[in-house]
Amino acid sequence: MVLFVAASVKEIARLGTAYPWNKPSCCPRCGGRLWWHGFVVAWFSCFSHCVYLRRLFCSQCRAVHRLKPRGYWPRYRSSSAEIQQAITHRQSTKRWRPDLPRSRQRQWWRRLGRMIRLVFGMSAQLTHREGFTRLIARNIIPVTQAIHHDNRHIHDPPYRIVALPGACCR
């Protein structure tokens, strides 16, 4: 599970593993105590090298959580603001931004159009910019590839996730 924290990506990259992370008071899944669980490598579009993000382990529900700076969606290396700027730039100038990889921008553009059709219907007469804003208002990642409802949300679901009885680890 990804936990979003108020942190600067530039500071994390500059300090590396010495960055002073703030540990959440309890596990968001079960309320148990969290333990530091090392680091995980992450890539952000503003750096050519990897950045180390902190991991946490809950001894009660055995979940591993990763701390990630706010403003970045799960499984995305570009910030949400950078993605929105790229979509807006494409909508207004009909050109791709020269400072970002063109293939990545095309992928966002295609996925956004697909998500607009999926959520608002094939007959929706929305521009990409309007669709982006409306999907954000619905708490949906606008440029996601996920079709299923539980995989495309910006934040975690409001309900608890529990293990089924009889499902043991092998």
Average pLDDT over residues 99-124: 91
Tell me the CA distances in angstroms from 23 to 26, 32, 67, 146, one per residue in order: 9, 13, 9, 30
Check whether 107 has a pLDDT greater than 50.
yes
Percent of the chain whose predicted confidence (pLDDT) is above 90: 49
What is the band of 105 on the pLDDT scale with cuts at 50, 70, 90?
very high
What tokens does 43 get?
Answer: 């890539």
Alpha-carbon gap, residue 143 to 170, rounded angstroms: 36
Domain residue ranges in the chain: 2-69, 80-151
What is the chain's mean pLDDT, rounded? 85
pLDDT in tens, 51-75: 999 999 999 999 999 999 988 888 8
